[in-house]
Amino acid sequence: MIQLIEKIIIEKFLDLTGGINVKLSFLKYSTPNSGKSLDDKVIFFVFKANEKNPFLCVKTVRTYLAKNTVIKNFDNLKKLNDLTNNSKYENMFAKALYLFDDGENIFSIETVCPGIKTKLNKKRLEIVTKKYIDFQEYLARNNNGQFITDIEQFVKDIIIQSELKESDKKKILQFIGQMSFKGIRLPRIIQHGDVTEDNILLEKDSVSIIDCDFVGFTDMPGFDLFGLFYRFDKYKSKKLCYEYFPEYFIKIRADIGVDKYDNLFFLYYFLEHLRKKYLLEKVSADEIISDFKIIYKM
Amino acid sequence: MNDIKNHIKIIDDIPFFSEDSYWGKAPKEELEKALKVLEEKGWEYFNANYQNKFDFTFEENRADWRFNIPIDKNFVVLDAGAGMGRNSIPLARVVKKVVAFDSSFLRIKFLKKRAEKESLDNIDIMVADLFNMPFKQNSFDLIVMNGVLEWVGASDKFKNPREAQITALKICKNLLKDGGYLYIGIENRFAFAYLKGFDHSGLRFTSYMPRFIANWYMFLRKGKRYDTYTYNIKGYQKLLRDAGFGGANFYLAYPGYNCPRTIIPYDNLNILAYAIKNLMPENTLRRKVSKMVVGIKPALWLYRKLFFSFSIIVKK
């Protein structure tokens, strides 16, 4: 397939490649988890001769039957590009450049984000968190006044439409029914859906976020930050949430009292399981609830 | 092939062109038991209990080297030494036909079951070895030798292992159509990893030794000759030339050719440096050191020389 990709890149991006006789080299990469399912992506970094860094990134799948993975990722990236165009956040994500689909092969071409994957420590986490809060503030300012005013109904709809077993749906609804969401008003803000250490690239003070498979999974603000803290250290995530969420909610102009934070955290926690189906397959609603109570000391 | 089939042994719809000879990291009894479990309790039970055994058999990324070859839906592929189907299954999804053979009946039987489960009806399966195959010349667009060439020398038909390897490669060349591709997944003779692990011989350091010393050492320790030859890049280039092939493309496969998550063109040190710096984990001391020395060209050059395994693609 590389031969086809090279041909298309030279055809479509003559200005970037610098001529039709250019020789491109390809570095194939897939994450340790890629290969478990046919929907998993395969990535190629494209290098020009003698260049130390790639100038393009190509994403494909192992069978054309899984083409929706590529299309979805490309569309999600375009969505983020549209939201951040001409802002100081436009380099936070790669640029979706081209989608090739000839009915047999499918691949997308995008730019490469600067930075490298780095193990997060508290200091780096703070850099990422601050940048992400600012980015979300920017989106909130441009969300055309769309708010979630009835959180309970918002979540009930998600649960009812989910693939959870009916008995599990009932238990989660019962648990949420005991909580109060009165007075909460959150602006709808698109969430990346998978802000993890693996998807964050750092370079000096710049933060880039890759892997757009879950972009738009929810527009409930705070989901990304919660996920970032939870996956950084689940037992410290409550402390981190209380440290950063007040500033976050002020910046995105959300109305929520601190006494309602834990209720919201459960919703994030539950959505996190809903996002990754394999998490749901491993645990029941009872386990989700009891684990949450342990981690968040409720 | 139908004419031939009428004259040969067939068990469970699998024709035999050579003697059954089991190989594999797991003992034969374990695979026998696993197959029995599969037949009696089905895939769901099997997956729950055996999914992670038998060397990543179910991972689709095993055949990712194929992206470096312009494969299309009309390709006819020979998977030589197909084992349990790590390459045959992903390939069968994207080509017209895969012919998969292995010297082990049990392993190929598992492949057959897996193909049936995946509803892949374009895989022909048989027990055979490289020196006993029922195919006509110029039959295949691609031949796969994944983890096979190093074992070919075990045949006692040849004076020395290298001769067996060259003969096997010549056979493959004859079976390939003009313009067809041969893929070889194999270890680097001088891989750093052999300092702490075992060579194919089952002994330490034999790949590093001059062949005659390795041979002598094998006789002393195991009572047989050293026959699992691997080479460095130059060695593979010469081997392929001696078998009549032209220039080959070499790639570094990380963490190994059996699970090539990262595939790096051998001739591009910049890409190797980028991969070490950006894509490889920092989970071992060696990895941490590699990240630190990545900017020093001689160190990077040496690192490449000591890389664990290669993906080799050569065109007829």
B278, two tokens: 């950006």
Q: Which residues have a Cβ under 8 Å from the Cβ of A38 and sit 6 or more positions away?
A: A61, A62, A63, A65, A66, B60, B93
Backbone angles phi, psi at A23, to 5 degrees: -105, 120
Interface test with A, best of B72, B274, B287 (most A CBs within 10 A): B274
Share of chain A above pLDDT 70, in %: 97
pLDDT at A64: 93
CB contact under 8 A, B271 and A50: no
Per DSSP, the residues of A120-187 read --HHHHHHHHHHHHHHHHHHHHTSTT-EE--HHHHHHHHHHHS---HHHHHHHHHHHHTS--TT-BEE
Nearest chain A Cα distance for residue B99, angstroms: 19
Contact B274 A47 (CB under 8 A): yes
Q: Is the pLDDT of residue B56 over 60?
A: no
The pTM assigned to this predicted structure is 0.88
DSSP labels, B178-246: EEEEEEEEEEBTT-GGGGTS--TTSSSSTTTS-HHHHHHHHHHHHSS------B-HHHHHHHHHHTT--
CA B243 to mean position of chain CA atoms: 18
Q: Which residue has the tokens 């010549």?
A: B170
Domain ranges of chain A: 2-110, 116-295
Task: Tell me the pLDDT of chain A averaged across its residues.
Answer: 89
CB B146 within 8 A of CB B86: yes
Nearest Cβ partner for A2 among B68, B261, B282: B68
B181 residue type, one letter: Y
C-alpha to C-alpha distance for B274 and A20, rounded to whole angstroms: 25
Which residues on B lie below 8 Å from A45 (Cβ)?
A: 271, 274
Is the complex ipTM more than 0.85? yes
Q: What is the largest CA-CA distance in chain A?
A: 67
- Asked if B130 contacts B152 with a C-beta cutoff of 8 angstroms, the reply is yes
What is the pLDDT at residue B122? Answer: 96
pLDDT score, position B285: 74
State yes or no: pLDDT of A298 exceeds 70.
no
Task: Among 3.30.200, 1.25.40, 2.60.520, 2.60.40, name the CATH number for the domain at A2-110.
Answer: 3.30.200
Average pLDDT over every residue of A247-269: 90
Structure tokens belonging to residue A165 = 């077993």
Taking the domain A116-295, which CATH number applies?
3.90.1200
pLDDT in tens, B239-285: 999 999 988 999 999 999 988 999 999 999 999 999 988 887 666 77
Q: Does the pLDDT at position B57 exceed 70? A: no
Q: What is the reported pLDDT for B59?
A: 79
Contacts with A116 from chain B: Cβ below 8 Å: 277-278
Is B176 buried (19+), middle (13-18) or exposed (0-12) by CB count in 10 A?
Answer: buried
Three-state secondary structure call for residue B100: strand
Residue A250's pLDDT is 94
Q: What pLDDT score does B8 carry? A: 81
Q: Which residue's entry shows tokens 């010297």?
A: B103
For B290-310, write each residue's pLDDT tens digit: 777 888 889 889 989 999 999
- Cβ distance of A25 and B273 shorter than 8 Å: no
CA distance A25 to chain B (A): 7
Burial B122-147 (b: 16+ CB within 10 A, else e): ebbbbbbbbeebebeeebbbbbbbbb
CB contact under 8 A, B61 and A35: yes
Tell me, what's the pLDDT at B34? 86
Beta-sheet pairing, B97-102 with B123-127 = parallel
Of the candidate ranges A62-66, B122-126, B276-280, the one whose mean pLDDT is the lowest: B276-280
d(Cα B134, Cα A115) in Å, to the nearest integer? Answer: 54
Partner-chain contact B71 A1, CB within 8 Å: yes
Question: In the structure encoding, which two tokens stand for residue B255, read together?
Answer: 């963490």
Q: What is the rounded distance in angstroms from the CA atom of residue B136 to the CA atom of residue A264?
A: 68
pLDDT at B55: 60
Q: What is the pLDDT of residue B4?
A: 55
Q: What is residue A282's predicted lDDT score, i.e. its pLDDT? A: 67
Residues 6 or more apart whose CB falls under 8 angstroms from that of A29 comprise A42, A43, A44, A45, B261, B262, B275, B279
pLDDT in tens, A103-117: 999 999 999 988 888
Torsion on CA atoms A112, A123, A212, B52, rounded to nearest 10: 100
* DSSP-based three-state secondary structure for A26: strand
- Model confidence at B2: pLDDT above 60: no
Contact present, A210 and A201 (Cβ < 8 Å): yes
pLDDT band at A284 (very low <50, low <70, confident <90, very high): confident
Count of CB atoms situated within 10 Å of the CB of B29: 9
How many pairs of residues across A and B have Cβ atoms under 8 Å apart?
A: 88
For residue A85, pLDDT beyond 60: yes
Find the largest Cα–Cα distance for chain B. Answer: 63
pLDDT digits (tens, 9 = 90+) for A11-59: 998 888 877 778 899 999 988 777 778 888 999 999 998 899 999 999 9
Q: Sorting pLDDT into bands at 50, 70 and 90, what band is B175?
A: very high
Asked if the C-beta of B269 comes within 8 angstroms of chain A's C-beta atoms, the answer is: no
Cβ distance B61 to A45 less than 8 Å, yes or no, reads no
Nearest to B125 by CA among B109, B138, B141, B148: B109
Is the confidence at residue B287, as pLDDT, over 80? no
Where residue B254 falls (left for φ over 0; alpha for ψ -120 to 50; beta otherwise) is beta
Which positions ≥6 away from A199 have C-beta within 8 Å?
Answer: A192, A209, A210, A211
Task: With a cut of 60, say whether residue A123 has pLDDT above it.
Answer: yes
In this prediction, residue A114 carries a pLDDT of: 85
Phi, psi of B115 (to 5 degrees): -60, -40
Averaged pLDDT, B14-38: 86
Amino acid present at A83: L
Per residue in B80-120, pLDDT tens? 999 899 999 999 999 999 999 999 999 999 999 999 999 99
**Residues above pLDDT 90, as percent of chain A:** 48
